[in-house]
């Protein structure tokens, strides 16, 4: 590995199509040439990315992952990585935070262990709400974006507090059984906790009900399928465990602030 290059505020591998910068928040859309290989680099600031189309292979010191459209990623500052084999038409939306943003709002930078990029944490819905404001770009978008960013980071900050071990195990179980009917008693038995404990504390630790969490998982899985542009919304609804397109559309709007069709057209 060569000596990595430092990417300062607002700098990315690709070319910028659009950018908005205010109150230490930087939102951008970047595009990439097919087959491009980046230098080894790291980012000065933490940021989240959502792949709108295409994708690439990302290499870190002890990890390699193929990143595809519809995926949401988190980058902790200072972590060296390289991207190769960009697909044709790759477009990525980024939300970056300068250190002053955390100081102003009493927040801490999410840890690198926030493994959003392998589906262990759900933040895609929050990112898409921010994405919507970036493209809507009216007189209220900056205030709305700032609020959404605080909510995104504050929720993660709360999850880093001293939570019991079963809260970590539950994420694995929910991801494995995202589309399987699961009795509360069987669920609690699998986690080796009492059903009353699960019922009492789930919402406190995950900021939603168990049903809402399952619906978030289904919406998260729909994102990559929508971005592929291969299936009708009705087919996607069935693939992701919804009874019909109307239910899918209603739930998608509830969690992302837009319809699946609107997301598809971005």
* pLDDT tens digits for range 200-219: 888 878 878 888 888 888 99
Indicate if 235 and 131 belong to the same structural domain.
Answer: no
118 pLDDT more than 50? no
Place of tokens 């910068």: 21
Indicate if 35 and 155 belong to the same structural domain.
Answer: yes
Q: What is the dihedral of CA 263, 155, 149, 97, to 10 degrees?
A: -120
| pTM assigned to the model | 0.86
Indicate if 185 and 74 belong to the same structural domain.
Answer: no
Between these two residues, 54 and 203, which has the higher pLDDT value?
A: 54
Between these two residues, 36 and 196, which has the higher pLDDT value?
A: 36
Indicate if 205 and 221 belong to the same structural domain.
Answer: yes
Residue that terminates a domain, selected from 124, 159, 194: 159
Domain that holds residue 176: 166-265
At CB < 8 A and 24+ separation, what contacts does 239-244 make? 240/179, 241/178, 241/179, 242/218
Report the CATH number that the domain containing residue 64 is assigned in CATH. 2.60.120.10
Indicate if 44 and 28 belong to the same structural domain.
Answer: yes
Please give the Cα distance from 203 to 265 (Å, whole number).
Answer: 34
**Count of domains for the chain:** 2
């Amino acid at each position: 590995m060569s000596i990595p290059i430092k990417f300062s505020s607002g700098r990315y591998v690709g070319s910028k199509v659009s950018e908005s910068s205010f109150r230490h928040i930087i939102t951008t859309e970047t595009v990439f040439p097919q087959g491009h290989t980046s230098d080894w680099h790291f980012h000065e600031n933490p940021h989240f990315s959502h792949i709108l189309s295409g994708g690439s292979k990302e290499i870190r010191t002890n990890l390699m992952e193929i990143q595809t459209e519809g995926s949401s990623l988190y980058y902790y500052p200072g972590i060296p990585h390289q991207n190769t084999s960009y697909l044709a038409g790759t477009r990525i939306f980024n939300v970056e935070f300068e250190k002053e943003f955390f100081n102003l709002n009493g927040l801490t930078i999410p840890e690198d262990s926030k493994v959003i990029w392998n589906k262990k944490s759900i933040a895609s819905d929050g990112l898409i709400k921010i994405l919507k404001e970036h493209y809507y770009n009216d007189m209220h978008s900056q205030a709305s974006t700032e609020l959404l960013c605080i909510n995104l980071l504050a929720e993660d900050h709360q999850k880093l507090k001293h939570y019991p071990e079963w809260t970590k195990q539950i994420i694995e179980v929910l991801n494995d059984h995202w589309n399987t009917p699961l009795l509360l008693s069987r669920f609690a038995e699998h986690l080796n906790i009492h059903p009353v404990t699960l019922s009492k504390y789930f919402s406190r630790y995950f900021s939603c009900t168990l049903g809402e969490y399952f619906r978030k998982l289904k919406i998260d899985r729909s994102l990559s399928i929508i971005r592929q542009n291969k299936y009708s919304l009705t087919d996607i609804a069935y693939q992701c465990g919804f009874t019909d397109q109307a239910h899918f559309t209603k739930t998608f709007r509830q969690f992302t602030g837009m319809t699946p069709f609107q997301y598809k057209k971005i």
